Structure 1
Amino acid sequence: MSKRIVIVGGGYVGLYAALRLQQRLRSGEAQVTVVNPENFMVYRPLLPEVASGTLEPRHAVVPLRAVLSGTRFVAGRLTGVDTQRRVASVAPEAGPELELEYDELVLGVGAMSKLLPIPGLADCGIGFNSLAEAVHLRDHVLRQLEIASATNDPELRRCALTFVFVGGGYTGVEALAELQDMAVDVLEGYPELDVSEMRWVLVEAMDRILTTVSEDLAERAVSELRARGIDVRLSTQLESAEGGLVRLNDGDSFRASTLVWVAGTKPPPLVKELGLPTDQRGRIIVDETMRVEGHPDIWAAGDCAAVPDLENGGVCPPTAQYAVRQARRLGDNLAERLRGGELRPFHYKSKGEFVTLGMNKAVGEMLGRKVHGRLAWAARRAYYATQIPTWNRTIRVLGDWLVGMPFGHDVVNLDSREEPRGAFQEAAGRRG
């Protein structure tokens, strides 16, 4: 009887581990099942460019059913694991709960935004951890430009044109830089507005941004942002945001219609409920082969797991580079375990880092050499284009980039898609 491998999560870990098993396993050797709420994987490094409109949302995703041929896919959410019976409980979108029996279980459930108990944050904040949030934020920023251009109220105008991002990691810096670049680019379509009226603020609690890259690279990024008029506040925290009034612990306060929270992530609450060992940050404790401590038939990797970093010490950083390599090593180890072979520890040394700061703007380090400007921007795009699974997606992404380069950003705001039945309900007399 073939072994049953259940992979929970369709992100980097789930997709790349399943792809590796497709390559390594012989026909009939194992049945692989991937469980994920959506039938696609989001290529997260491209979300800032989805937000700025330089990339179509559908081109930043990978359809799981299309690329995982020979792998069973179940659209649903993990609700529990019975380690004694070796059963994973899954809730599909509709219908009764499913019980998936497994011989080997892989957990790659990723992470979610880590919110702090800051007054007003839950009511006013916008996240940036999913495709929907990236698309929503683009529409939101364009909507603020429309509000500012149409009002005679100076306070409302200032509020609409103030954009605050809390969190100076990769996500926060790239999202802010891309959106600010977009807003400046499209402003010629708003003759009522001047670029000097826009206020972009980056709030970071630590004394530097981009803590996972070299200090020189982080300083270059700060210099680039400040040269564009972006207010970078280091060693500063958000104290409250009630009623749209942003209060910082440095004593400053101002109104802002846009507050983006990108100050860290945490494993989903379900991880703690599974009864598996976790560290102080809620990540599943695994050994260097990515097997869960005390559970030789359960594996975990990516943002939800504390994978030992054998090259630099500590735990591997939560980046796409590491997650993809972890998934491939995990797939290899699963294949070896089925055949009684030797499991190998995860080793990886980063080949470089890139941070996009808008069109033709980036900083990076590759093969020990620091680069910036157009060269870093082009190198980053070339790298990510070649890393996206399937040539189909690679060609689509390259097409988006090539078409967009000479024409700039689009000012179309499609926020009506957030309420697609609105016009129908209005026609039926059920609105307003």
Structure 2
Amino acid sequence: MRYGEATVTVVDPRSYMTYQPFLPEAAAGNISPRHVVVPLRRVLPKAEVLTGRVTTIDQDRKVATIAPLVGEAYELPFDYLVVALGAVSRTFPIPGLAEQGIGMKGIEEAIGLRNHVLEQLDKADSTNDEEIRRKALTFVFVGGGFAGAETIGEVEDLARDAAKYYKNVSREDMRFILVDAADKILPEVGPKLGKYGKEHLEGRGVEVYLSTSMDSCVDGHVVLKNGLEVDSNTIVWTAGVKPNPVLSRYGLPLGPRGHVDCETTLQVKGTDYIWAAGDNAQVPDLVGRKAGNENAWCPPNAQHALRQARVLGDNVLSGMRGFPQKDYSHANKGAVAGLGLHKGVAMIVMGKMKIKLKGRLAWYMHRGYHGMAMPTWNRKIRVFADWTLGMFLKREVVSLGAIETPREEFYEAAKPAPVASAPKEKTEAKAKEKTEEKAKAS
């Protein structure tokens, strides 16, 4: 934009952006958690960044209501609006899931999962109770897409390496279970590579149950549709995503699954000043429709979100200046997935040709693609430095579970000591004396 042409205001409940494809590697300790996030104020120096949530939007007055982290809500006027809230975990009303489940949508969850897994090994190594050991060393993952398959692959690697430092825990003592309601895993890379991924995980001792789902997990007692029942302290939920539910409060036209209904220009239908992109947008897939699929929509993945953002930026400027809008069109370039250290699958689309890779070469493709897609050179260099150090140094197996309650130890040290009560015998003797004195006085 020209100098002084407009002010760009970004409202987000977090002051950083998370590169989600790296969450499994952060959970495994291959990448430092700080290197997976990008501080908004640093990378958007010309924008105004507000840490808070947009609770409502008044389209008639063109005003958004902002709820900051602290203080009263206030109104923020706008001329043009971009809705890019992304997605949240798609969950179901399964008994015990809210209390026991661990998601994988944010860096906090990745750090929590890593600390939790290592803590389970600590528990198993320090007890003689077989039931406690069994429950601590059973790990259940629900969802066999990219997030689920990559996370279980990385966490299994972590647990296998960490077990070398425990005298009473071995990989054979652990039980890893992957559950998916579909009849295959990794559908994004096609059936052949998905089958390879399943066989690869099974070869590492992972139990894969397809065409089944979880009925309940109350108190860690997992019950699957196929009749299997296990006790586990670790239940990781990666069974898909859904648009941010707050969209329903904005008065925008929504599709059948809750996405913002957009034109091919990324403009929200029925408006000329609102755009949407990414996982919360329902955008027609022009490439798929040209191929004969009239109901093709752009899938909610980073490949489309990154490219939609560039077109959206151009179209917002075109809308401001009265120029025609540009349609968004992008052909699928393939998909890559890592299944742990030196293991992965990749499908590269080059025109009408599909190149399918597996093993170490696919793993290199996975790291290379996402390493270069990571925003800012600062973070790119730090991520590649983490990988390079990992080639020469052993994996860290330190659990920092106390980081979730950092004030607990200080509170125990600083809280007031309880008032010491007098011995019961002395208290009763004093009461008796007082009674006798009152009797004499009367």
Same fold (TM over 0.5): yes
Q: Does 1:251 align with 2:227?
A: yes
Shift of 1:338: 1.5
1:380-419 equivalences in 2 (<5 Å): 380-419=366-405
- Once residues 359 and 160 of structure 2 are traced to their aligned partners in structure 1, the CA distance between those partners, rounded to angstroms, is 18
Task: State whether residues 273 and 319 of structure 2, in contact with CA within 8 Å, keep that contact through their aligned partners in structure 1.
Answer: no
Q: Does 1:194 align with 2:155?
A: no
Task: State whether residues 336 and 342 of structure 1, in contact with CA within 8 Å, keep that contact through their aligned partners in structure 2.
Answer: yes
Corresponding letter in the other structure for 2:27 = A
- Once residues 211 and 298 of structure 1 are traced to their aligned partners in structure 2, the CA distance between those partners, rounded to angstroms, is 33
Q: Which of the numbers 354, 357, 371 marks the counterpart of 1:371? A: 357
- Once residues 125 and 430 of structure 1 are traced to their aligned partners in structure 2, the CA distance between those partners, rounded to angstroms, is 36
1:110-129 equivalences in 2 (<5 Å): 110-129=86-105
Task: State whether residues 110 and 303 of structure 1, in contact with CA within 8 Å, keep that contact through their aligned partners in structure 2.
Answer: yes
- Once residues 334 and 38 of structure 1 are traced to their aligned partners in structure 2, the CA distance between those partners, rounded to angstroms, is 24
- Once residues 302 and 237 of structure 2 are traced to their aligned partners in structure 1, the CA distance between those partners, rounded to angstroms, is 20
- Once residues 301 and 149 of structure 1 are traced to their aligned partners in structure 2, the CA distance between those partners, rounded to angstroms, is 48
The aligned residue for residue 12 of structure 1 is none
- Once residues 97 and 431 of structure 1 are traced to their aligned partners in structure 2, the CA distance between those partners, rounded to angstroms, is 41
Q: Which of the numbers 31, 36, 43 marks the counterpart of 1:67? A: 43
Q: Which of the numbers 122, 129, 134 marks the counterpart of 1:153? A: 129
Corresponding letter in the other structure for 1:316 = C
Shift in CA distance, 380/45, structure 1 to aligned 2, threshold 3 Å? same
- Once residues 284 and 431 of structure 1 are traced to their aligned partners in structure 2, the CA distance between those partners, rounded to angstroms, is 57
The aligned residue for residue 429 of structure 2 is none
1:198-237 equivalences in 2 (<5 Å): 198-237=174-213
Secondary structure, aligned partner of 1:30: coil
Q: Does 1:322 align with 2:299?
A: no
Unaligned runs of 5+ in 2: 290-295, 419-442
Corresponding letter in the other structure for 1:246 = V
The aligned residue for residue 14 of structure 1 is none
Shift of 1:430: 6.7
Shift of 1:255: 0.6
Corresponding letter in the other structure for 2:335 = E
Corresponding letter in the other structure for 1:380 = H
Higher mean alpha-carbon deviation, 379-388 vs 326-335, is at 379-388
TM value normalised by structure 1: 0.92
Shift of 1:72: 1.1
Q: Which of the numbers 301, 310, 320 marks the counterpart of 1:338? A: 320
1:345-356 equivalences in 2 (<5 Å): 345-356=327-338
- Once residues 149 and 431 of structure 1 are traced to their aligned partners in structure 2, the CA distance between those partners, rounded to angstroms, is 34
The aligned residue for residue 82 of structure 1 is 58
Q: Which of the numbers 276, 287, 290 marks the counterpart of 2:252? A: 276
Task: State whether residues 207 and 234 of structure 1, in contact with CA within 8 Å, keep that contact through their aligned partners in structure 2.
Answer: yes
Task: State whether residues 188 and 335 of structure 2, in contact with CA within 8 Å, keep that contact through their aligned partners in structure 1.
Answer: no
Unaligned runs of 5+ in 1: 1-24
Shift in CA distance, 171/425, structure 1 to aligned 2, threshold 3 Å? same
Task: State whether residues 311 and 349 of structure 1, in contact with CA within 8 Å, keep that contact through their aligned partners in structure 2.
Answer: yes
4+ residue runs of structure 1 moved beyond 6 angstroms? none
Deviations 1:106-145 (A, max 9, x none): 0001111122111111111111111100100000000001
* Identity across matched positions, percent: 46
Q: Does 1:362 align with 2:344?
A: yes
Count of aligned residue pairs for this structure pair: 408
- Once residues 101 and 53 of structure 2 are traced to their aligned partners in structure 1, the CA distance between those partners, rounded to angstroms, is 26
Corresponding letter in the other structure for 2:326 = R
Shift of 1:269: 2.3
- Once residues 239 and 245 of structure 1 are traced to their aligned partners in structure 2, the CA distance between those partners, rounded to angstroms, is 10
Shift of 1:31: 1.3
- Once residues 289 and 125 of structure 1 are traced to their aligned partners in structure 2, the CA distance between those partners, rounded to angstroms, is 38
Corresponding letter in the other structure for 1:224 = H
Task: State whether residues 425 and 431 of structure 1, in contact with CA within 8 Å, keep that contact through their aligned partners in structure 2.
Answer: no
The aligned residue for residue 264 of structure 2 is 288
Shift of 1:102: 1.2
Deviations 1:150-187 (A, max 9, x none): 11111111111100001111111111111011111121
Deviations 1:74-118 (A, max 9, x none): 111111100000111111111222322111100001111122111
The aligned residue for residue 8 of structure 1 is none
Q: Which has the higher contact order (CA 8 A, sep 6+)?
A: 1
Shift of 1:429: 2.9
Task: State whether residues 193 and 345 of structure 2, in contact with CA within 8 Å, keep that contact through their aligned partners in structure 1.
Answer: yes
Corresponding letter in the other structure for 1:178 = E
- Once residues 324 and 276 of structure 1 are traced to their aligned partners in structure 2, the CA distance between those partners, rounded to angstroms, is 23
Secondary structure, aligned partner of 2:200: helix
Q: Which has the larger radius of gyration?
A: 2
Deviations 1:194-218 (A, max 9, x none): 2111110010001111222211221
Q: Which of the numbers 135, 151, 154 marks the counterpart of 1:178? A: 154
- Once residues 166 and 15 of structure 2 are traced to their aligned partners in structure 1, the CA distance between those partners, rounded to angstroms, is 39
The aligned residue for residue 19 of structure 1 is none
Shift of 1:39: 1.3
- Once residues 55 and 124 of structure 1 are traced to their aligned partners in structure 2, the CA distance between those partners, rounded to angstroms, is 26
